[in-house]
Amino acid sequence: MTTHQAPFTALASVYDAIMGEIEYDGWAEFTLTFLRSEGFTPRNVLDLACGTGNSTRPFVEAGLQVTGLDLSRDMLTVAQKKLPDVTFVQGSLTDFQVPGQFDLITCMFDSINNLLTHEDMLACMERVRGHLTDDGWFVADVNTRIGLRDLWEGGVIEGVVPAEDGQDVHYHWSHHYDEERELGMIQAFFRMEDGSEFIEQHTERGYDPRELGELLEKAGFRDITICEYPDYAAPDEDTPRVWLFARVKEATRG
Ligand SMILES: C[S@@+](CC[C@H](N)C(=O)[O-])C[C@H]1O[C@@H](n2cnc3c(N)ncnc32)[C@H](O)[C@@H]1O
């Protein structure tokens, strides 16, 4: 029987098996290289929407003091098992409260696209701002509208991967883009070797660079770079995913 599960709950048990090929190390290096080019060396990082800790791990390996935050208890349980020395906190992107301030706050793998309204995105950016040190940086990757439309309308991703418990997991993700509501939806279906099946539905909103810039400015950020991975090129109207680097402190570079 297929059960319908809330987003990022049952998925936690198979997430790492499916994300085996994702460039987490490349993303962290891309982030730290940008900061180095700005003459900034972070000592601590808050990884928002950290999931099972895959985006968190490279920062631990780089020697930073890391805190991870996610809404999903199931994702955090996997993360804590993998990274026992990291502090993980359950919280929401829109109203999180974590003790201390951070040199770097990240939100990776289009997690921020889970915020479906400008109000929620602004609330998140304001929270981030409140948790950053004076010269700290916010870094996130974001699906643009065209990215979501091209990637998500009619697209299917399917495969079989071995899960940690040795069972094969068959996954079939079908994507749909609702033009009217400007929302991308994934119907993520999983069948385990023992015959159990579950479905999670995930919804994302795309954000274009100009929109992101305006929201960041509204939240008080001043030094803002929006670019492409991996070469930091300026995005154009066809760019499917952008990276934002933002801090409150004004730029002093010439
Ligand atoms: C695609 S996963 C990315 C996880 C991790 N950053 C990675 O790169 O593998 C998206 C994550 O966002 C989390 N998430 C979604 N909405 C959230 C919210 N409003 N507040 C906090 N976390 C959220 C989910 O629980 C999930 O772990």
Q: Separation of 50 CA from ligand 1 center, angstroms? A: 6
Return all residues near 57 (Cβ < 8 A) that are at least 6 apart. 24, 82, 83
pLDDT digits (tens, 9 = 90+) for 62-81: 999 999 999 999 999 999 99
Token code pair at residue 183:
């929302």
Task: For residue 230, say if its preceding peptide bond is cis, omega within 30 degrees of 0.
Answer: yes
- Pick from 11, 14, 18, 71 the residue to mutate for probing ligand 1's pocket: most ligand atoms within 8 Å of its CB: 71
Rounded CA separation 201/4 (Å): 8
Atom of ligand 1 nearest to the CA of 12: 27
Atom of ligand 1 nearest to the CA of 92: 20
- Check residues 249 and 136 and name the one with the higher pLDDT: 136
Amino acid at 250: E
- pLDDT score, position 241: 97
- pLDDT score, position 150: 86
Q: Residue 77: in which H helix or E strand, if any? A: helix 73-82
- pLDDT score, position 8: 95
- What is the CATH number assigned to the segment(s) 18-144+208-247? 3.40.50.150
pLDDT digits (tens, 9 = 90+) for 28-44: 999 999 999 999 999 99
The percent of residues above 90 in pLDDT, for the chain, comes to 88
Return all residues near 13 (Cβ < 8 A) that are at least 6 apart. 74, 78, 163, 164
Q: Separation of 252 CA from ligand 1 center, angstroms? A: 33
Region 102-120: mean pLDDT is 98
What is each CA distance from 89 to 34, 51, 53, 190, in whole angstroms? 27, 11, 12, 27
pLDDT digits (tens, 9 = 90+) for 112-166: 999 999 999 999 999 999 999 999 999 999 999 999 998 777 789 999 998 877 8
What residue owns the CA closest to ligand 1's atom 13?
A: 49
Could you please report the per-residue DSSP string of 196-253?
-EEEEEEEEE---HHHHHHHHHHTT--EEEEE-TTT-PPP-TT-SEEEEEEESSPP--
Q: Ligand 1: residues whose CB is within 6 Å?
A: 8, 19, 49-51, 54-55, 70-72, 75, 92-93, 108-109, 111, 114
pLDDT digits (tens, 9 = 90+) for 175-205: 999 999 999 999 999 999 888 999 999 999 9
Q: How far apart are the first and last CA of the chain?
A: 62
What residue owns the CA closest to ligand 1's atom 10?
A: 111
Return all residues near 116 (Cβ < 8 A) that are at least 6 apart. 183, 203, 204, 205
Topology given in CATH for the domain delimited by 148-204: S-adenosyl-L-methionine-dependent methyltransferases (2.20.130)
- pLDDT score, position 252: 77
Is the sign of the CA dihedral 82, 86, 90, 94 positive or negative?
Answer: negative
Task: Note whether 49 and 70 are within 8 A (CB).
Answer: yes
If pLDDT is split at 50, 70 and 90, which confidence band does 9 have? Answer: very high
- pLDDT score, position 189: 96
- Pick from 15, 114, 122, 128 the residue to mutate for probing ligand 1's pocket: most ligand atoms within 8 Å of its CB: 114
Return all residues near 7 (Cβ < 8 A) that are at least 6 apart. 72, 114, 200, 201, 202, 203
The domain locations on the chain are 18-144+208-247, 148-204
Q: Separation of 254 CA from ligand 1 center, angstroms? A: 37
Q: How many CB atoms lie within 10 A of CB 224?
A: 17
Rounded CA separation 93/98 (Å): 11
